[in-house]
Amino acid sequence: MDQHQPPYDRQPDEPPRFHPAEPSAYPPEPPQKQSGLGIASFVIAIVCLAASIGLMLLAAAGMEDLLNQTGPIDMEEAQSIAASGSVIVAGLLMLATLGLSLVGLVLGIVGLVMKHRRKAFAIIGVILNGLLLLGFGALLLFSFTVQAGM
pLDDT at 61: 79
> Does a structural domain hold residue 45?
yes
- The rounded distance, in Å, linking the Cα atoms of 115 and 111 is 9
pLDDT at 11: 66
Which residues are bridge partners to 34 per DSSP? 118
- The rounded distance, in Å, linking the Cα atoms of 86 and 58 is 7
HSE-up (13 A, CA, CB side) for residue 7:
1
pLDDT at 71: 64
> Does a structural domain hold residue 116?
yes
> Does a structural domain hold residue 13?
no
- The rounded distance, in Å, linking the Cα atoms of 122 and 26 is 29
Q: Which of 115, 99, 123, 113 is nearest to 39 (CA)?
A: 123
> Does a structural domain hold residue 9?
no
> Does a structural domain hold residue 29?
no
State the total domains in the chain: 1
Domain with 59, as residue range(s), is 35-66+78-149
- The confidence band for 52, taking pLDDT boundaries of 50, 70 and 90, is very high
> Does a structural domain hold residue 24?
no
- The confidence band for 69, taking pLDDT boundaries of 50, 70 and 90, is low
> Does a structural domain hold residue 6?
no
